[in-house]
Amino acid sequence: MSIHPKALVSPGARIGSRTTIGAFAIIEDDTVIGDDCHIEASAQIRAHTSLGAGCFIGSGALIGADPQFRGFDRSITSGVRIGERNTLREYVTVHRSIHQGEATVLGNENYLMAGSHVGHDTVIANENTIANNVLLAGHVAVGSHCFLGGGSVFHQFIRIGDYVMAQGNSGFSLDLPPYVIGAGVNEVAGINSVGLRRAGVSPEVRNQIKETFRKVYFGAQTLREILDEVDESNLASPLVAFFQFLRQESKKGLCIRTSRDFKSI
């Protein structure tokens, strides 16, 4: 463990082995920093935050600050829970939950680029790349293996499925199903075939996903009719996950298909 003499570390913080903390970093009371973490200069880890092993927190990052929520009761005890091997670069902000005893959550091996924001009560799963200046509002649910392009914006309470790719500077207030490319404002432009191929999904299953996408977004049947007739017991697991996402409760509804040409994505 290496703590710079000009860092401010509370005696109530639990710091793991081989962790380094830079100058002017602030680690508040009741925090847990796992083994092999690196906290750069001027980063702040607020109370009731936990970091798993192997995390990197960049200069100026602020983890566990109060939510941006009018009327928030600051006496509430809530926090941020971050898993292992996450990278949060310079000036990333992650806000704590608005609910007593609950937490904003990041899973494992996520990479958040400089200036990105994670709002209160958002849950991010594993192995996502969140590019510069992405804004995730409160209560957003992000799956795994997503790429959210720089400057993209996501409204509160929406869901983002696994392997979603969102175009830079796009904006969404509706759910993005698994495997789609999100573009523009609340539109989907197709399937993230490159991401699926890199994930080892077979050509046969990728074609089945594309056919299902066309059926949902271009077919004559309603979504309810499609869900009522599909037999998930005969489907590959990625397709089962797709239909399960569609069956789950949505506060916002699904993004629509685009009428524009996004072949360059």
Q: Which residues are catalytic?
A: 120-121, 138
Positive or negative: CA dihedral 51, 155, 59, 28? negative
Cβ-proximal residues to 231 (8 Å cutoff; 6+ apart), any chain: none
CA dihedral 205, 250, 171, 214 (to 10 degrees): 30
Instruction: Please spell the DSSP secondary structure of 134-170, one letter per residue.
Output: -EE-TT-EE-SS-EE-TT-EE-TT-EE-TT-EE-TT-
**Which DSSP state fits 221?**
S
Q: Are 242 and 227 in contact (CB under 8 A)?
A: no
How far, in Å, CA of 232 to CA of 115, rounded? 41
The C-alpha R_g of the chain, in whole angstroms, comes to 20
Integer Cα distance of 116 and 124 in angstroms: 13
| Helical residues (DSSP H) of the chain, grouped into ranges | 193-198, 203-218, 223-229, 237-247
Nearest Cα residue to 254 out of 197, 180, 162: 180
Give the C-alpha separation, 42 to 50, whole Å. Answer: 18
